[in-house]
Amino acid sequence: MPETDARLCKLVKLLTSHATVVVSGTKIADELDISRSEVWRLIQQLREIGVDIEGHPATGYQLKAIPDLLLPGMLLPLLRGTIFSSVSHYYKIGSTNDIAMEFAAEDAPEGSVFLAEQQTAGRGRGAREWHSEQAAGIYCSVILRPELPPSEILVLSLAVALAVYDSVQQVDARVIPDLKWPNDLLLGGKKFCGILAEMNAEITRVRYMVVGIGINVNQSHFPQDLQTSATSLRIETGTEWSRLDLCAALLKSLDREYAQIMQDSGARESILRRFQERSSMARGRQVEVADGRCMFAGITDGLDERGFLKVRTAQRVRTILSGTFKFAEKSKA
């Protein structure tokens, strides 16, 4: 599935800047330096992905609604001054993390962003599937090349969750997500964002990493098997969100968090503190852990200095390194 044709982005920009008038096929063809039949083909492509365009070759075309697409031409001007200076956009792709890992292996620069309107093989942690409905969510992967040992990457991934938290708050300060260690964001006890950080590393050095962020933004419903665990910003707030605004806010917040980690020796403490402040589950919650070899139950007791979740059991304080864990329902008392 190829990267979005750059002429499609130009066409949307052109129609958006003339949103109230009919633009003739000839004018579009001239401005984009393409043939009239090519204009028609691009218009059809936009209609296929749900952009509402009235008109036909004889009369010209008019955009009926400004589409909320994550096109590089719309996003890049909002990202000036950040490390995110290259955005690749796909209407449909298997997984943005897969394509980003491929490009990273081919030396793509730090700050390359990969966005899709739809994923057909979106991946979550633990080989789970990430439901990726067309144009409803944000499916975003970025390449980072942090000069850090692999042991510091957990803290970096906690900072990504903080960046998502901040971006949601910037768009609507009334929405207060709850962070679930290590990388989930919840609203009303259901998940609306997950983060999949993958890396290629030596023992002491990260060569590159890809941070994949999936945010359920404007979904109005989910498949049956996700209904009890997944939600979207739209379901929780009752309003449609601008994916473009949220995506820009997210990448700007991520740029800030990343710059702090790379430049400020006190950043790690700040990340651990802020993560715990924004997580109702990091302390004092009953949890059951299955870590592959054994199962244990206890009470969460904050994060250790590396970013691992501590659990106080009857015998001792343990850390959750991997595996699955389940929080008990909060008591109503």
How buried is residue 296: exposed, middle or buried, by Cβ count under 10 Å (0-12/13-18/19+)? middle
Contact between 222 and 131 under an 8 Å Cβ cutoff? The reply is yes
- Per rule CB under 6 A, is residue 209 in the interface with ligand BTN? no
Backbone phi, psi, residue 174, to 5°: -75, -15
Half-sphere exposure of 20 (CA within 13 A, CB side): 0
Which H/E stretch holds residue 207? strand 206-216
CB of 98 to ligand BTN, least distance (A): 7
By beta-carbon proximity to ligand BTN, the closer residue of 132 and 276 is: 132
- Per rule CB under 6 A, is residue 72 in the interface with ligand BTN? no
SS3 percent helix, strand, coil of the chain, rounded to 5, is 35, 25, 40
Among residues 67, 146, 214, 307, which is the contact residue for ligand BTN, using CB under 6 A?
214
- Per rule CB under 6 A, is residue 157 in the interface with ligand BTN? no
By beta-carbon proximity to ligand BTN, the closer residue of 111 and 122 is: 122
Largest alpha-carbon pair distance within the chain? Answer: 79
- Considering only residues 100 to 129 of the shown chain, the ones binding ligand BTN according to CB under 6 A are 119, 122-125, 128
Among residues 90, 130, 241, 258, which is the contact residue for ligand BTN, using CB under 6 A?
130
CB of 313 to ligand BTN, least distance (A): 26
**With contacts defined by CB under 6 A, how many residues of the chain interact with ligand BTN?**
20
- Per rule CB under 6 A, is residue 195 in the interface with ligand BTN? yes
- Per rule CB under 6 A, is residue 196 in the interface with ligand BTN? yes
Comparing CA positions, the residue from 177, 136, 180 lying closest to residue 158 is 180
By beta-carbon proximity to ligand BTN, the closer residue of 15 and 195 is: 195
Only one residue has tokens 């982005």, namely 9
Stretch that binds ligand BTN, among 75-83, 160-168, 193-201, 324-332 (CB under 6 A): 193-201
Contact between 113 and 142 under an 8 Å Cβ cutoff? The reply is yes
Angle subtended by helix axes 6-17 and 25-32, to nearest 10? 130
Site string for ligand BTN, 259-278 (x = CB under 6 A): --------------------
Say if strands 190-201 and 184-187 run parallel, antiparallel, or are unpaired.
antiparallel
Residue nearest to ligand BTN (CB): 194
Backbone phi, psi, residue 126, to 5°: 65, 35
CB of 139 to ligand BTN, least distance (A): 4
**Which residues are at the interface with ligand BTN (CB under 6 A)?**
95-97, 119, 122-125, 128, 130, 139-141, 184, 194-196, 212-214
